[in-house]
A and B are shown apart, each in its own frame.
Chain A
Amino acid sequence: AQSVAQPEDQVNVAEGNPLTVKCTYSVSGNPYLFWYVQYPNRGLQFLLKYITGDNLVKGSYGFEAEFNKSQTSFHLKKPSALVSDSALYFCAVRALMNTGFQKLVFGTGTRLLVSP
């Protein structure tokens, strides 16, 4: 079964410093990986995805993620964190169901706290 793991419940970083939010995956076949962000009392906002191609994927709000097949990882990164980046971040993998339809399987989420 497809799954993702986010080993850190919370990541703390000072504003201006680089940030990394970790995600590892377990899939059969080629992985289709996503990052979503959830601000308080808001929905899930798409940040970026990896389907194929370049291992470094650039997304919204200056975020990027690096796909590493040998380490089965898809860590989210940003060179310089902002206080406004503080939110809950979810890694997800696409899982194909028996009918051929897809669903997303989410990790448990990592709370990012950026301090001024």
Chain B
Amino acid sequence: EPEVTQTPSHQVTQMGQEVILRCVPISNHLYFYWYRQILGQKVEFLVSFYNNEISEKSEIFDDQFSVERPDGSNFTLKIRSTKLEDSAMYFCASSDGTGVNSYGYTFGSGTRLTVV
């Protein structure tokens, strides 16, 4: 069964450092997403990406965040200057469409980011 792959599974970084979280979506999917789950809290939408541009972003997704699809297979989330409150599990997801018949999302296994 096709999978969304995320690397690394766990990253520890110092406050103020830049981190890049990587994702390989399912190959024939065209819509890509990042979600975040702060420990013990609910999963929250960050950003959606289609046709090489951001289609929607939440209020969480401020100027320190950026997304990119650099080579047609990877989908990355960059956090420019990490803060302690960025510590969370970050999930990548991809989907085959946006309509009512689309399967829905396939999520990756997540990257646990710890900012110290």
Contacts and interface: CB of A to CB of B under 8 A. Distances in A.
23 contacts: A34-B104, A41-B112, A42-B109, A43-B6, A43-B110, A44-B43, A46-B107, A90-B43, A92-B43, A94-B104, A98-B56, A99-B56, A101-B31, A101-B50, A102-B48, A102-B98, A103-B45, A104-B43, A104-B45, A105-B45, A106-B42, A106-B43, A106-B44
Contacts of B41: 108
| Most chain B beta carbons < 10 A, residue from A98, A101, A102 | A102
Interface string B33-69: 1010000011111001010000110000000000000
B29 to A, nearest CB: 13
Contacts, number: 62
B91 interface: yes
Contacts of A32: 100
B107 A45 contact: yes
